[in-house]
Amino acid sequence: LASKLPFFGTMGMSILGGVAHNLGQLLVAAFIVGNTSILYYLGILLVVGAVSGAVVGIMAGVLLKRV
């Protein structure tokens, strides 16, 4: 869905993917554990997901230029 937006390039898609992945894992973990206290990690995991997504986006951008 986000790939159809003109301002979402490789970097934006990678950041969105990193954040969505961490959010999904945290929601599933809260469901399995049966305790929503695990959602207190959401803030730090969103930051980590965005940073790691940016790193992957940079590497993908470099790789796409060379291919």
pLDDT of residue 8: 73
Q: Report yes or no on whether pTM surpasses 0.85.
A: no
pLDDT of residue 46: 94
The span from the CA of 2 to the CA of 45, in Å, is 21
**From first to last of its 67 residues, what are the pLDDT tens digits of the chain?**
666 677 678 888 999 999 999 999 999 999 999 998 998 999 999 999 999 999 999 999 899 899 8
**Alpha helices, H only, the chain:** 10-33, 42-66
Query: Where do the domains of the chain lie?
Result: 10-66
